[in-house]
Structure 1
């Protein structure tokens, strides 16, 4: 019997992740936290012994969820089939069958556990969810970050969650999709149900020592499932990936290339290599949003507004802004109703857009890029990009500014000439 979950913040992945795992997630989290000492992040630095114990606890509970799964949708149905086949192959001593199904189960379990690790880290460092406006996301999606140095990225907390909302034009195809496609080739099902997963956010964890980043992209189904009380039945695709900071000058593009090479070397089977390449390609396609959002948080902290969502009862929200006594009572009531504060990005817009407007001086930027101020140039396109801007006393501090794609010297554009024929200038960081 489907059970309705009443949490009003189910649009946020960390909330959804917890709600369908709350019956068993506390124990593995406590095991992970027991290994924390000092400035250690358990995504990167936990001992193998503690990690294995937490993984065993989590995955045993996760497998029990498979046995309780009832959804007829493709992924839950295929997972149940893989698990039953694995048990039958084992009983019949079919080594090839056991090997094949175990490989699929391990593939499924790996991403699930990595998502759990980052969720656990998020809760340990304050459960900070940053909700980005569509205006910012549209700009960030078109702004290249390949040359950004990993050392220049500084998260406000060791683990954060970036919420983009359902991105209708960005499908996520990871291990779940690979499992579905693999089994479709060997079964005779006539099901035509189109279930796919759309990007809706990302966890980012930063190693406090090296600056290495772990990114886990999250997704939401394109179709709502009424079976939402079981983590298998309401499974959502996640893609976990590491951007290693091998040296002080490691760029995002270099980190991606290194990680692809490492993963391909450690996954020798054809199935795994195909999946690795697909996953890395998916990560690359969505890194613009992730890295630009991270840089925004450190560059414009005053543009971030912590508040309740619009669905929260307005009378209670207003009371949280009054005298301390009324504030605590209202906060308690909101917590009981399932509401909590979210960090909204791009709602103020004043500081961010003011700086952007100041830096879109065509004459200054063309001069800075070419070394020839006020150079008389033909009309051309300038790609969307970011650049560092010095500010403060004696210009000792710096922050990133975002500059939209634009046409330089547009007033010289010849109506009879197709705009795409004009040269597109690359912008160096």
Structure 2
């Protein structure tokens, strides 16, 4: 590992006393650094928020502030986004002409303030936890349309088996689950299960929204991009302890109920998000039920547009060839993700990036079923309902279950 530049380290030490130095250091670094563009390899997987998060903040100013916190020279309780906001509020940062065509300085301040209308701090915590816990992405976009009318509100959290303590699920903007912001759709969420020792085990969902294709994130400034990202995000938290839920096994419907409780969010967030979240919560619940179901169809691999030859070489018997292929794919912007339900989608005739359904059964529900010796174990199965689009022909399946491979 390269030894940090002592001049840079000394500059970081001075940031707590003089935050404006962050701008000066970033300007020096920026002169030798090219920003990612929409056409760059880095942006291939921009649709996945963890990738998007890194790209939008790929700016020397973010790195300088982040480094000063990571190295203990700045208060770790004040997040990077809040420090960037401080620079704007005190006149150290100015918005470009492109920035102000989308956001005024006052609007950005409203979005990035802790009691405002966005959730930058929640995004940063969720992304950091995702990064620390293995950077797992589950793509359910090919089968998510199956869940659009499936009721998962009565599924208890105890029936959910999370594959990791922190991960990101993506169902896609093509479902057009509306966010409170025009032309943007809730496209996925971070899922974290935290054990806070003497406190409760908590389930956290941090929702993300897609970017409209014409938003010029590659030419907007750092703070404009951070505000735009935060403007489409909100986090929910729920105790998994029966004691905290009236001695009842909490269900997803209890999260829905929390949306209507006075004071659950700061007022601007509640007014903005409460009408939009029920459908997104339902989709998140369905995705988690799918991942919890026995023998759920999940395969780890590269996205379909990754070079087939390199993908094949990642399974080579030769370690050097595997490493070389993986390195090359990474340089091209590809990474391994968990691809869910591809065979099911093919069987049912589901098209990529469409919410249009072939003939199918709608209004299903997840059912909790006990099995095993003395019925001590629990699993969930998906029961589908009425036939939709029958005029287009017969559905591929009347009931859809996650079948035992035996």
Task: Give the structure-2-normalised TM-score.
Answer: 0.67
Partner of 1:293: 287
Aligned partner of 1:113 among 103, 121, 127? 121
1:299 and 1:400 in contact (8 A); partners too: yes
Partner of 1:205: 192
Partner of 2:30: none
Alpha-carbon distance in 2 for matches of 1:62, 1:312: 38
2:310 and 2:325 in contact (8 A); partners too: yes
2:116 and 2:269 in contact (8 A); partners too: no
2:290 and 2:296 in contact (8 A); partners too: no
CA RMSD of aligned residues (A): 3.6
Aligned partner of 1:384 among 364, 372, 375? 364
2:299 and 2:339 in contact (8 A); partners too: yes
Alpha-carbon distance in 1 for matches of 2:262, 2:364: 31
Larger gyration radius, structure 1 or structure 2: 1
1:4 and 1:228 in contact (8 A); partners too: yes
Partner of 2:340: 345
Aligned partner of 1:12 among 45, 48, 58? 48
Q: Offset at 1:159?
A: 1.4
Is 116-125 or 20-29 further displaced after alignment? 20-29
Partner of 1:251: 251
In structure 2, list runs of 5 or more residues that go unmatched: 1-33, 349-360, 391-406
In structure 2, the CA distance between the partners of 1:251 and 1:199, relative to structure 1 (3 Å rule), is same
Alpha-carbon distance in 2 for matches of 1:300, 1:348: 16
Alpha-carbon distance in 1 for matches of 2:254, 2:172: 29
Say if 2:238 is the partner of 1:239: no
Partner of 1:332: 327
Alpha-carbon distance in 1 for matches of 2:335, 2:112: 38
Partner of 2:78: 55
Say if 2:308 is the partner of 1:314: yes
In structure 2, the CA distance between the partners of 1:300 and 1:65, relative to structure 1 (3 Å rule), is farther
In structure 1, list runs of 5 or more residues that go unmatched: 35-49, 84-100, 178-194, 354-380, 411-429
Alpha-carbon distance in 2 for matches of 1:65, 1:337: 35
Partner of 1:145: 152
Once the two structures are superposed, residues 263-307 of structure 1 have per-residue CA deviations (whole angstroms, 9 ceiling, x without a partner) of 25x74xxxx2x6414413322221111011112112245511110
Partner of 1:215: 205
SS at match of 2:280: helix
Alpha-carbon distance in 1 for matches of 2:260, 2:207: 16
Partner of 1:162: 169
Paired residues for 1:362-373 under 5 Å: none
In structure 2, the CA distance between the partners of 1:202 and 1:102, relative to structure 1 (3 Å rule), is closer
2:145 and 2:175 in contact (8 A); partners too: no
Structure 1 stretches of at least 4 aligned residues deviating more than 6 Å after TM superposition: 101-104
Count of matched residue positions in the alignment of Structure 1 and Structure 2 = 319
In structure 2, the CA distance between the partners of 1:205 and 1:258, relative to structure 1 (3 Å rule), is same
Alpha-carbon distance in 2 for matches of 1:30, 1:242: 29
Task: Give the structure-1-normalised TM-score.
Answer: 0.64
SS at match of 2:151: coil
Q: Offset at 1:166?
A: 1.3
Alpha-carbon distance in 2 for matches of 1:335, 1:383: 41
Of Structure 1 and Structure 2, the greater helix share is in 1
